[in-house]
């Protein structure tokens, strides 16, 4: 069976990408990062819940605490507030410098070890918060770099099935492929109850609203 490393945060987008990989008949090897994010414990729980739901035993959880040392992002620096005023133009303070580039580099190493020929990542370009490392051009450049810097018999394709979708399309796609959306987590700020006002919550809520579906996280009893 063909293998795919799936970068899985436990959020709605990455979980949907994982279920798409499953539908495409890949053996899924999920990869999760603890990088000092505010909701690290909740994201890890969501990751493990999704893996348990899919009955996946072979999973990677990698700690990369240096992001907190670098700082420069509200997700890893407690001195920088997570914005709650609404999504604004430009790159927000929740952007973690080169996070996806580092994630993909580590994922490439895991792919070489596991003999995987695909990396799935749930980046979204058109309806995201404006992160530069979610752009299609960046992903293609990373794929070229990875294949230039790995063994000659390593041929890795970075698959981004959501990159041109709107959030409401992702909600519908998630339901279509069977994602247990109630197990996913998107909030940047809180781990017990989603705040509903950070950029990630706003995008998620907007997506569910436009899809005509109630978010099981935001409206659970």
- Phi-psi sector, 198: left (phi>0), alpha (psi -120 to 50), beta: beta
Q: pLDDT tens, 102-146?
A: 999 999 999 999 999 999 999 999 766 789 999 999 999 999 999
Question: The domain that contains 85 carries what CATH number?
Answer: 3.40.50.620
Report the C-alpha gap between 212 and 26 in whole angstroms. 31
Q: Is residue 103 part of a domain?
A: yes
In a domain, 216, yes or no: no
Segments of the chain assigned E as strands: 3-7, 27-34, 60-63, 118-120, 157-159
pLDDT tens digits, 6-41 = 999 999 999 999 999 999 999 999 999 999 999 999
Overall number of domains in the chain = 1
219 is a domain residue? no
For residue 12, is it within any domain?
Answer: yes
* Nearest CA among 133, 207, 203 for reference residue 163: 133
Report pLDDT digits (tens) over 137-190: 999 999 999 999 999 999 999 999 999 999 999 999 999 999 999 999 999 999
Does residue 220 belong to any structural domain of this protein?
no
Query: Which among 52, 9, 29 has a CA at the least distance from the CA of 156?
Result: 29
The domain of 165 spans 3-211
- Give which of 138, 41, 42 is closest to 98, Cα–Cα: 138
- pTM > 0.85: yes or no: yes
């Amino acid at each position: 069976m063909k293998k795919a490393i799936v970068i899985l945060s436990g959020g709605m987008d990455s979980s949907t990408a994982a279920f798409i990989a499953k539908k495409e008949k890949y053996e899924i090897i999920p990869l999760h990062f603890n990088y000092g994010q505010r909701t690290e414990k909740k994201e890890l729980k969501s990751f493990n819940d999704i893996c348990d739901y899919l009955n996946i035993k072979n999973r990677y959880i990698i700690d990369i605490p240096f992001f907190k040392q670098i700082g420069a992002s509200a997700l890893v620096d407690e001195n920088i507030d997570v914005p709650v005023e609404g999504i604004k133009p430009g790159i927000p303070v929740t952007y973690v410098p080169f996070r996806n580039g580092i994630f993909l580099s580590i994922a490439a190493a895991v792919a070489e070890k596991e003999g995987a020929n695909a990396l799935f990542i749930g980046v979204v370009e058109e309806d995201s918060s404006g992160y530069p490392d979610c752009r299609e051009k960046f992903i293609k450049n990373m794929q070229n770099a990875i294949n230039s810097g790995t063994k000659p018999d390593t041929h890795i394709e970075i698959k981004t099935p959501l990159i041109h979708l709107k959030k409401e399309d992702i909600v519908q796609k998630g339901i279509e492929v069977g994602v247990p959306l109630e197990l996913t987590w998107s909030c940047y700020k809180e781990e017990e109850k989603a705040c509903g006002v950070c950029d990630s919550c706003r995008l998620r809520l907007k997506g569910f609203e436009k899809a005509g579906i109630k978010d099981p996280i935001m409206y659970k009893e």
